[in-house]
Structure 1
Amino acid sequence: MAAIRPPYVKVICPTAESMSVTLNAGFVMPSWFDLISLDPNGPEDRAGIEKATNFVHGLIEEELKNGIEASRIAVGGFSQGGGLAIHAALQYPKSLAGIIGLSCWLPLHKDFPKEAKGNLTTRLFQAHGSADPVVPFHWGAETSALLKQFMENSEFKTYPGLSHSSGEQEMEDVKKFLQEVLPDN
């Protein structure tokens, strides 16, 4: 993040706690919530997703207490963290500066747009590698199609050949997005 972070921007990169993950045969690994199924219409860990969303909201509230305006806060993440960032932003009532979701999907997607509480006009930068074997590209594309139905400033970029990782061009695009939504005042 240091290479793409504007010098006037504070970055908070929390790490998920370790937990037993159903899709990982119950083995313990860092995870924001349990992953139960690879089927987009399968069961989801609603309680875990809501707990993780509340954690993100707590981080935002901490920055507000420190004098940072919500309009100067962007949330983002990669993979499960990217989906969590999008979900948390849509469940947050105050307008944020921007949302970044890389190689991700929207948890509890069936709840939206009905359950959205805010940030429908906030800029969203969503990106996905076309060769992602972990979070299939079509999940990202389907998430984008859903979000574009009710988020007017949603952008989706595809990176041909990129696996479940971040590429140089993608990081440059994230840097540009951050500079646009969080300009130096």
Structure 2
Amino acid sequence: MCGNNMSVPLLTDAVTVPAGERETGAVIFLHGLGDTGHGWAEALSAIRLPHLKYICPHAPRIPVSLNMKMVMPAWFDLMGLSPDAPEDEAGIKKAAESIKTIIEHEVKNGIPANRIVLGGFSQGGALSMYTALTCQHKLAGVIGLSCWLPLHKTFPQAASGVNKEISVLQCHGEADPMIPVRFGNLTSEKLKSVLSPSKVQFKSYPGVMHNTNQEEMMAVKDFLEKVLPRV
């Protein structure tokens, strides 16, 4: 594939797992707070589909209010983890635009938008949800693991409408102490009020904390096979 990554800052050092055969789709997957793309590139490699490319960018390092302003990889600032906590609206919108530039880059390089899935874990899942709902490109699907919908009070008005029929997979550990499964359920209900309810899947996993497990990753693989089949 041709294309200059230098014009898309998040792509310059993103971890990319290339397709094993002719590339006909892409998965852009965003890590959680304080993490990098490396671990998720490894996890996705374990369930990879040979016709897909996986792109795992690293978030910029910024001070995070929730962690006493410590500088760490974060997609946007976090003030709290409850549904009513104040939110970094400007930071969320700016981060969403930076993910949209990756989508644009893939489209320009020959992957149609409807063959792109956005996904992420925790804060990365939150950003992928917000980006998909506000994106002007019709995407294949969105995956949110252990996450929430940022700026949820601005929806459905903030939704672009282009992705009203998008397929959504939400997975959440029932023992998550950071982002309780109740918030995941609330997010799922909100998404059903914005999108086609039949396209929104919510799966919860007993005993799973703020992480993932093999069963959840197999659900991700099944979802990708469904929304990005080999062509």
Identity of aligned residues (%): 51
Q: Which residue of 1 aligns with 2:138?
A: 95
Q: Which residue of 2 aligns with 1:16?
A: 59
Q: How does 1:46-125 map to 2 (within 5 A)?
A: 46-117=89-160, 118-125=162-169
Q: Which residue of 2 aligns with 1:157?
A: 203
Which stretches in structure 1 are left out of the alignment for 5+ residues? none
Amino acid at match of 2:206: P
Aligned-CA RMSD value: 0.8
Deviation readout 1:86-117 (Å, 9 max, x if unpaired): 10000102210110000000010111111100
1:4 and 1:82 map into 2 onto residues whose CA distance is: 18
Q: Which residue of 2 aligns with 1:181?
A: 227
TM-score w.r.t. length of structure 2: 0.78
Which stretches in structure 2 are left out of the alignment for 5+ residues? 1-43
1:41 and 1:164 map into 2 onto residues whose CA distance is: 20
Q: Which residue of 1 aligns with 2:81?
A: 38
Contact 2:115 2:139 in 1 (8 A): yes
Contact 2:81 2:178 in 1 (8 A): no
TM-score w.r.t. length of structure 1: 0.98
2:85 and 2:213 map into 1 onto residues whose CA distance is: 30
Q: Which residue of 2 aligns with 1:167?
A: 213
Question: CA shift at 1:38, angstroms?
Answer: 2.9
Question: CA shift at 1:150, angstroms?
Answer: 2.2
1:10 counterpart SS class:
strand
Alignment: residue pair count: 185
Q: Which residue of 2 aligns with 1:131?
A: 175
2:123 and 2:193 map into 1 onto residues whose CA distance is: 22
Deviation readout 1:125-178 (Å, 9 max, x if unpaired): 011000111111111111011111121111100011100111100000000000
**Mean Cα deviation higher: 53-62 or 33-42:** 33-42
Q: How does 1:134-145 map to 2 (within 5 A)?
A: 134-145=178-189
Q: Which residue of 2 aligns with 1:148?
A: 192
Moved over 6 A (4+): none
1:39 and 1:77 map into 2 onto residues whose CA distance is: 19
